[in-house]
Structure 1
Amino acid sequence: MTQAFWQTKTLEQMTRSEWESLCDGCAKCCLHKFIDDENTTDETELMPTDHIGEDEQMNYSNIACYLLNDKTCQCTQYAKRTKLVPDCVQLTQDNLDDVFFMPPSCTYRRLKEGRGLPSWHPLLHKGKKSAMHKAGMSVRGKIVKDNEVDIDFFEDYIVTWPLNDID
């Protein structure tokens, strides 16, 4: 029996299509995240960042990007997402080490940490997401869209469920 590509290749060795197929489609990366920082001012509070300090803590919210289809957990404008939402990060083999905000259940993060694919991953279920949704590992049924809430009250939307990981 031959081993699957994710068992024989490093993330850096994967082809573009292998890399893309690793995304489990949970959409947790589409959630707004906030860094708890005492030095934040009113002007910088909701500004994007590309790092997190050792004394800072990242909080996930259940506020998702307005482009997210909350049933399929897919971006409705995937090809244009970084143009429509400049803060949207396209995860690649080159920036994986710098993307500190991926949740513990993210397959890219799991493989980088040597933990393998989770049992609910679509690649282990003929490409279907039903096991992931049933395990509660996606954002389905848990979110509000950023164009439907007042983001100034983000504290009211902070949640811990995106940090959940199983097996």
Structure 2
Amino acid sequence: MFWKEKSLIQLSASEWESLCDGCGKCCLVKLEDPDTFEVAYTACSCSLLDIEKVQCQKYENRFEAVPECLKITPENIEKLDYLPSSCAYRLVAKGEDLPEWHHLISGELGLVHSLGKSVADWCVPIDQVDEDDLVDMIIEIED
């Protein structure tokens, strides 16, 4: 349980990456209210997200392909309070336990999907949605 033995900054790049549960919720398009700054999730995913696999199709070059792509780091995780409360990065940053379905606990990479904890098969790529319809795509994220 390396995530309990080390601080976030002490994690190797591969340890940090392995914390991701693969839910894909960070890849959902978010809208920010200009008055309240409240962030709302939509049922639209980044155009790079392979919805069936819930994987970025250009992960290594995602920031070049989508400049607004969110980079989650040990340095910024505590400021990203709009990420789902089930996000492993948030949980570890708070010193909390990973959920039982997390692959580092269960040993099953696909459990996040089979339990419906991911965006697999229900989100829509942003390039298939008219910008005027985005507000109609706002959803509540379940953890």
TM-score between both structures, scaled by the size of structure 2: 0.92
The equivalent of 1:69 in structure 2 is: 50
Q: Which moved more, 1:4-13 or 1:26-35?
A: 4-13
From 108, 124, 127, the equivalent of 1:144 is 124
Q: For 1:147, what is the secondary structure of its paired residue?
A: helix
Q: 2: CA distance between counterparts of 1:130 and 1:25?
A: 9
- CA drift of 1:97 comes to 2.6
Matched, 1:105 2:86: yes
1:23-42 matches, cutoff 5 A: 23-38=20-35
- Please point out which of 10, 15, 18 is paired with 2:12: 15
User: C-alpha distance in 1, partners of 2:118/2:87?
Assistant: 10
- Matched AA of 2:110: S
Shift of 1:157: 0.4
For residues 80-122 of structure 1, give each alpha carbon's deviation from its aligned partner in whole angstroms, at most 9, with x where no partner exists: 1000000002211222233233211110011112221111111
Aligned length: 143
Q: CA deviation at 1:14?
A: 1.0
Worse-superposed segment, 92-101 or 57-66: 92-101
Aligned to 1:119: 100
Q: Distance in 2 between matches of 1:78 and 1:119?
A: 26
Question: Which residue identity is paired with 2:72?
Answer: L
1:129 aligns with 2:109: yes
How large is the RMSD of aligned CA atoms in angstroms?
1.4
Q: Which has the larger radius of gyration?
A: 1
Gaps of 5+ in 1: 39-54
In the aligned structure 1, how far is the partner of 2:131 from the partner of 2:23?
Answer: 22
Q: What amino acid does structure 2 have at the position aligned with 1:83?
A: E
Amino acid aligned to 2:13: R
- The runs of at least 4 aligned residues of structure 1 exceeding 6 Å deviation read none
1:96 correspondence with 2:58: no
Stretches of structure 2 that go unaligned for 5 or more consecutive residues are: none
CA distance in structure 2 between the partners assigned to 1:84 and 1:56 by the alignment? 26
